[in-house]
Every structure is written in structure tokens, then in C-alpha cells.
């Protein structure tokens, strides 16, 4: 039996790549046809992927701004989305 190629480092993945891999892991675990030791391994990988996705989303949210309007509805500038 050959070992699969090592998975890429989670931190090197884009958000889309991490979500795609996470979806595959969830599908494999839901099917229930993965041996226990492999299930634990891919579950841990899934946890790392989830944390990576959360960090990428937080970074994206911190860069989003909303447009401030004056009383006439004209753009007046920007401010952080969360109002901080």
C-alpha cells in the first residue's frame, strides 16, 4: 500500500482551496467508509482548514469599509464596516 502525497501546508492554501478540501473531508467523514485512524487524521486536518478559513475571513472583513453618506445622501468618506 502506498502512502498518499503529503497534503499542502494549510497556510499556503487560498480560501477557496481550503473550503474545497474541507468539503471533501466532511463528505468522506459523512460516508463513514474511512478507517478510524484515517478519520482522526482527516478530522484534524479539517480543524486546521477551518481555522485557516476563519483567519482569512477575519482578515477580509477587517479590510471592508462602508461608505459614509451626508444628509443629502452624497458620499462623504468611508469608515470601518463594524463602526469601530
What structural domains does the chain harbor? 12-80 (1.10.287)
Question: Cell 494549510 maps to which residue?
Answer: 10
pLDDT in tens, 47-60: 999 999 999 999 88
Mean pLDDT of the chain: 86
- b/e map 42-69, b = 16+ CB within 10 Å: beeebebbeebbeebeeeeeeeeeeeee
What is the C-alpha to C-alpha distance for residues 24 and 33, in angstroms, rounded to an integer? 13
Q: What's the pTM?
A: 0.70
* Residue 21 · residue 42 · CB < 8 Å: no
Amino acid at each position: 500500500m502506498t502512502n498518499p502525497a503529503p497534503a499542502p501546508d494549510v497556510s499556503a492554501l487560498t480560501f477557496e482551496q481550503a473550503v474545497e478540501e474541507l468539503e471533501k473531508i466532511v463528505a468522506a467523514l459523512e460516508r463513514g467508509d474511512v478507517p478510524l485512524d484515517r478519520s482522526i487524521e482527516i478530522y484534524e486536518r479539517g480543524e486546521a482548514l477551518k481555522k485557516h478559513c476563519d483567519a482569512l475571513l477575519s482578515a477580509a472583513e477587517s479590510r471592508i469599509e462602508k461608505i459614509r453618506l451626508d444628509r443629502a445622501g452624497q458620499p462623504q468618506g468611508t469608515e470601518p464596516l463594524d463602526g469601530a
